[in-house]
Amino acid sequence: MPPALELRDITKRFPGVVANDRVSLAVEEGEIRALVGENGAGKTTLMNILYGLDQPDEGEILIRGELCQFHSPLDAIRSGLGMVHQHFMLFPSLSVAENVVFGCEPTHSGILDQQAAQRSVAALSEDFGLQIDPRARVGSLSVGVRQRIEILKMLYRGAEILILDEPTAVLTPQERDSLFGILRALAANGKTIIFITHKLPEVLALSDSATALRDGAVTGTVRTADSDAQEMCRLMVGRDVELQVAKRSPPADSEPVLSIQNLTLPETGGRAAIRQLDLEVRAGEIVGIAGAAGNGQTELVEAIAGLRPTASGRISVQGTVTSSLSVGARRRAGQSHVPEDRDGVGLALEAPLTDNLLMGFDNHPSLAHLGILNLGAVRQHAEDLLGQFAVKTHSALESAGTLSGGNRQKLVLARELAHQASLLIAEQPTRGVDIGATEQIYELLVEYRDRGNAILLVSTDLTEILALSDRIVVMFEGELVGELPGPSATEEAVGMLMGGGGT
């Protein structure tokens, strides 16, 4: 029997780069295959080609032994492929059933047959153990349930080969484990699954095999049961990688850098995203905020950073009350911010890298005199930071929008860490960043903390929270529901709090 999916010598070139270099792989029916690699390794390009979003310059795609050419995702869907993108493509105001059947609706006299849609989705949900109410409004559902809806959309369209891009990025540990159970059941039912992830523990826990890409080429495919994380790291980056952070205990008597007292945000939709919240981060410590997406972490960070007004309460940094200050004034008071939305908030995508790395430094005496910039010094400042953070770029003068997602993330981190502010708000600092760069970022954050600075770390990656935090506080529905010491916290204990339960 031929493989469910086979790629033969797929090659894709863009100006100045070979994104995929004669990539070949075969995935059997019922297999769960992980696709791993650094940023820029070619994973996304390969999946875009497989799903009809890009066309290969050379090579062939075979589905169950038959040669296929996909000129659009519709061609891929007709051949039995489905894809769940990292950012869900759902309509929050519509029901589960309406989202699942969108574009393939059962109709009666030209009108959507709601009952038929609900029956079909309910039957499909029951068949695959997805346990979703087809009548529920998507906007009221948790992130984990929305993930299931995306899978239902693929199954409704008859997908036999399922592609998932970073499927656990916003899930709690319990939601992740539930998803893994679903994917294993789908594979046991004959579905073929390919998933892209940066999280090697998930590769080892879920996949049957893993294929690594580096610089656009396959460096190896291993059976997961016969491999380990270090072997996969070597295939991905060509060396061993260490993500277990060694750090000394924080000082016991350090002063608060960030102090939040009784913070409440204005109500939207009948409720406040943050209610009467108290939090303190001291010099020389990393406080991690854990929580499933949508529980107020983003709103809290925006309030601290000056991007969202407060209704009541007080925020202070180094003793300066910042609650009503502008973003620039808060930076001058001693805080830096790595935002979750690197493109919309962290960067000016049309501006050159020099300008992006200049933000906040425009009056620095080494770069400007009497309000006039020294352009040579500005460019050298940018080139120094680009080199220090290994940002892959052709020139410091190219626009930020030309960089890959992972390199944009490193660009924001380079600028914000360079400020050496007393408080660093690090929101999803390694999202979209490969494992080699993650190792470097972890080391830089610990060094930053060891110099006596305070870090507020916000991440949906629980492995990251556990690795870096001296203290962990957990948010649920706009409130802090628990605090755990970082060195002794367990994934299970934090995950329970993330779901609204006790320790």
Confidence of residue 59 (pLDDT cuts 50, 70, 90): very high
225-266 per-position pLDDT tens digit: 999 888 888 888 777 766 667 777 888 889 999 999 999 999
Q: What's this model's pTM, rounded to 2 decimal places?
A: 0.69
pLDDT for 245 equals: 73
Query: Is residue 196's pLDDT more than 60?
Result: yes
CB burial class (10 A; 0-12, 13-18, 19+) of residue 306?
Answer: buried
- Do the domains 5-237 and 256-334+421-498 sit in the same CATH topology, yes or no? yes
Q: Using a pLDDT cut of 70, give the percent of the chain over it.
A: 97
- What number of other Cβ atoms are within 10 A of residue 360's Cβ? 17
Q: Are 224 and 207 in contact (CB under 8 A)?
A: yes
Residue 457: which of 437, 482, 475 has the closest Cα? 475
Quote the distance between the C-alpha of residue 430 and its chain's center.
8
Residue type, 445: L
pLDDT for 251 equals: 83
379-419 per-position pLDDT tens digit: 999 999 999 888 888 899 999 988 877 788 889 999 999 99
pLDDT for 445 equals: 93
Whole-angstrom distance, CA of residue 82 vs CA of residue 153: 8
Kindly report the average pLDDT of the chain as a whole number. Answer: 88
Query: Is residue 174's pLDDT more than 80?
Result: no
Whole-angstrom distance, CA of residue 435 vs CA of residue 461: 13
Between CA 46 and CA 52, with CA 50 as vertex, the angle to 5 degrees is 115
State the distance between the two ends of the chain, measured CA to CA, in whole angstroms.
50
- Number of helices followed by number of strands (H, E) in the chain: 16, 26
- Across the range 134-144, mean pLDDT stands at 84
Residue 10: CB partners within 8 Å, gap ≥ 6?
20, 22, 23, 24, 46, 49, 56, 58, 59, 60, 61
What are the extents of the domains in the chain? Answer: 5-237, 256-334+421-498
Confidence of residue 344 (pLDDT cuts 50, 70, 90): confident
Give whichever of 59-73, 120-134, 485-499 has the largest mean pLDDT: 59-73
- Write the DSSP string, 93-133: TSBHHHHHHTTS--EETTEE-HHHHHHHHHHHHHHTT----
Tokens 């529905």 — which residue? 477
Q: 5-237 belongs to which CATH class?
A: alpha beta
Q: How far is residue 284 from each of residues 26, 51, 258, 302, 454, measured CA to CA in Å?
A: 50, 47, 12, 23, 5
Kindly give the pairing relationship between strand 423-427 and strand 454-458.
parallel
- What number of other Cβ atoms are within 10 A of residue 468's Cβ? 25
Give the bridge partners for 312, in sequence order.
264
Annotation: CATH topology of 256-334+421-498:
Rossmann fold (3.40.50)
pLDDT for 501 equals: 65
Q: How far is residue 473 from each of residues 78, 229, 237, 279, measured CA to CA in Å?
A: 47, 29, 33, 9
Around 382, how many Cα atoms within 13 Å sit in the side-chain half-sphere? Answer: 23
Query: Is residue 502's pLDDT more than 70?
Result: no
